[in-house]
Copies of this chain bind each other. A is one copy, B any other.
Amino acid sequence: MPARTRNTERREDALSRERIVAAAVAMLDESGEGGLTFRALSAHLRTGAGAIYWHVANKDELLVAATEEVLAGAIAAETAEHTPEDAIRALALGVFDAVDEHPWAGTQLARVPVQPAMVHVFERLGRQIQALGVPLADQFTWASALLNYILGVAGQNAALARTVAPGTNRPEFLGEIASQWSRLDPAEFPFIRAVADQLPAHDDRDQFLAGIDLILAGVTALRGAVPRQSRGQ
């Protein structure tokens, strides 16, 4: 615990949790998830590993803090949108864009049970779901559905970025997968073959938003329907 009881600076270049987290974000952005090492971080900050551990409990905490920093913008944007739908779209896009810019944060979101930043996101989603007139019993469930969709996309984006990173660039990589898809057995994979040509050209952001719209359309359709338990099987 860095309990700076007296606000005195030891030195000009003193270590601090903020400087450490900022350096971690920089290193993650530059060299990916494998690039963050306490050794590399020590070198980058011109100190030793022990000094870092005095400010930060462990690597997990550091990753949580780094993700928090990177998502701060997405949660801060409290722009008063016209409709609840637009507010949800804006919030979801904020998370998407942050993860798109920092793919390692997507991995972190999918890895940690409830990343602190996502509590705020969940709260905002829930409020808008509420504003849409969803019955109380469904609010929790449907807000969770939105959140899980967002987290799923974040995780997949990060996974894709992780494997595409080395040599080739993104469109090239997707084109390769698409050509593999179109060479699949027509009897076994008719659907994937049929949509293979859409893969290289598709816009991830548009597709993500279309998924949000799909869920929102479901909310509108089911809102005010029979209380619950209207499912088959």
Q: A220 at interface (Cβ–Cβ under 8 A)? A: yes
Q: A26 at interface (Cβ–Cβ under 8 A)? A: no
Closest to A145 in B: B211
Q: A142 at interface (Cβ–Cβ under 8 A)? A: yes
Which residues from chain B contact A195 at a C-beta distance below 8 Å?
A: 126, 139-140, 143
A152 to B231, CA, bound (A): 22
Which residues from chain B contact A90 at a C-beta distance below 8 Å?
A: 233
Q: Do residues A216 and B218 form an inter-chain contact, with CB atoms below 8 A?
A: yes
Which of B159, B189, B218 meets A123, CB within 8 Å?
A: B189
Q: A45 at interface (Cβ–Cβ under 8 A)? A: no
Which residues from chain B contact A233 at a C-beta distance below 8 Å?
A: 86, 89-90
A203 to B107, CA, bound (A): 26
Q: A47 at interface (Cβ–Cβ under 8 A)? A: no
Q: Do residues B149 and A113 form an inter-chain contact, with CB atoms below 8 A?
A: no
A113 to B140, CA, bound (A): 29
The answer to whether residues A232 and B85 also contact, given A159-B113, A210-B145, A214-B145 and a CB cut-off of 8 A, is yes
